[in-house]
Structure 1
């Protein structure tokens, strides 16, 4: 039951991420930073893509994704169309990987040590939904501040 809920939330929020990126009227503003805001919407988008491909795609989907986390925050001026294509691909990876998880697997330890202590797979997947939502909100706010 929770697997279907997680799939629904990930798909909804990743589609909303596409919507947010598409709503930037001036594509260059996707990469704009100012004052104490050090992460652009584009870099947050790349970070979310890397995060989900690592902690869901690679772990449960066996995608062999290799993450370059520093690049998620240093890469600039990726075309909007490329970002959207990467999000679309991430939607498929997440859905396929979640299809491989059984309800009983949720109570098992998550295979990687991500935090100070081991967590359950269920905890990690719920954490990943809130991480996505957190940065999605930042991107929404960034866009609304900068759109003319």
Structure 2
């Protein structure tokens, strides 16, 4: 396997197989009412963050690297504070992840080294993928924190008899599988 392919495969695994399932589990634990809860006016709800993540993936990967039209309206993502149910928000996020994964899966070394015009910047394809994955992970962590703060039932690890953290599922490029 080449280094570029390893990077791309790991990016697919993190987006589709690790972070998206954690967001879905967190949203399921939150329920409809808490999806839009936020501790104060300066913070975002889990629902708002899901809308924002879909917009970011589409701008940076689907449009930026894949060549689709950039139709992102970033301010409206953060203005979304309700009015959509969890199923709709998660379906759109899943669709954005799949669109982005299709683009990522089709990249190669040349595409990763090329520069692109994205959001007023000129990142390489490598930087754009890296940005999208790290950005997704950061906000996924915030969504999981919200779910744990509101519900407390979200769990991804358990301690084994030796006190080591054991995953309750395994990340794959195609989604989580039970251990």
TM over 0.5: yes
- Contact 1:58-1:65 at 8 Å conserved across structures: yes
Aligned equivalent of 1:108, options 75, 100, 114 = 114
1:30 partnered with 2:35: yes
Aligned residue for 2:90? 84
Task: Please tell me whether the aligned partners of residues 57 and 132 of structure 2 are also in contact (alpha carbons under 8 angstroms).
Answer: yes
Give yes or no for the alignment of 1:120 onto 2:124.
Answer: yes
Aligned-pair Cα RMSD in Å: 1.9
Deviation at 1:87, TM superposition (A): 1.8
SS in structure 1 opposite 2:65?
helix
Consecutive unaligned residues in structure 2, runs of 5 or more: 153-179
Task: From 37, 46, 55, give the equivalent of 2:51.
Answer: 46
Structure 1: stretches of 5+ with no match in the other structure: none
Tell whether the 8 Å contact from 1:44 to 1:135 is kept in structure 2 after alignment: yes
Residue 136, structure 1, aligned to residue 140, structure 2: yes
- Provide TM-score, normalisation by structure 2: 0.73
User: Taking structure 1 as reference, are residues 120 and 62 closer, same or farther at Cα in structure 2, changes over 3 Å only?
Assistant: closer
* Distance verdict in 2 for CA 1:61–1:113, change over 3 Å: closer
Distance of 2:110 and 2:140 partners within structure 1: 30
1:59, CA displacement in angstroms?
2.3
